[in-house]
Amino acid sequence: MERCNRARMPKPPATLSDTSKKFWKAVLAGWELDTNHIRLLQVACEQWDRATEARAAVSEAGAYFSDRHGNIKPHPGLSIEVQARKLFIHALREIGLDAKVLEAPRAPMLPRYSEKESRQGRVC
């Protein structure tokens, strides 16, 4: 599996928005990604752009419209935005960019009762 070398960091695709290009560069500057993860990063950036375009279309036209029969329907951009955001999040998870360093897992803590209550056998 080939890794992305910082010396020859791939340029962002020309089709991406400026915001996505900045995100692309920030991710590649901070993490060393495998080739398949770079493809997933491209998918994530494209989906972010698609979600942004859909949001702009909904903002311009409104969230709902009336069809030819007078029925109120949701703007198609609403579902496109939701789906694109889900794909963006999924791609980031596949790359591993959503992971936080957590404490070691531990058992849940039991409530502590005063010594007097525990000696008397009362729990409430």
Tell me the mean pLDDT in the region 108-122: 60
CA distance 31 to 95: 10
The structure's pTM equals 0.71
Model confidence at 96, pLDDT cuts 50, 70, 90, reads confident
pLDDT score of 119: 58
> DSSP secondary structure string, the chain?
--B--GGGPPPPPTTS-HHHHHHHHHHHHH---BHHHHHHHHHHHHHHHHHHHHHHHHHHH-SEEE-TTS-EEE-HHHHHHHHHHHHHHHHHHHHTTT----PPP-PPPPPP--HHHHHHT---
What does the pLDDT average to over 109-117?
62
pLDDT band at 2 (very low <50, low <70, confident <90, very high): very low
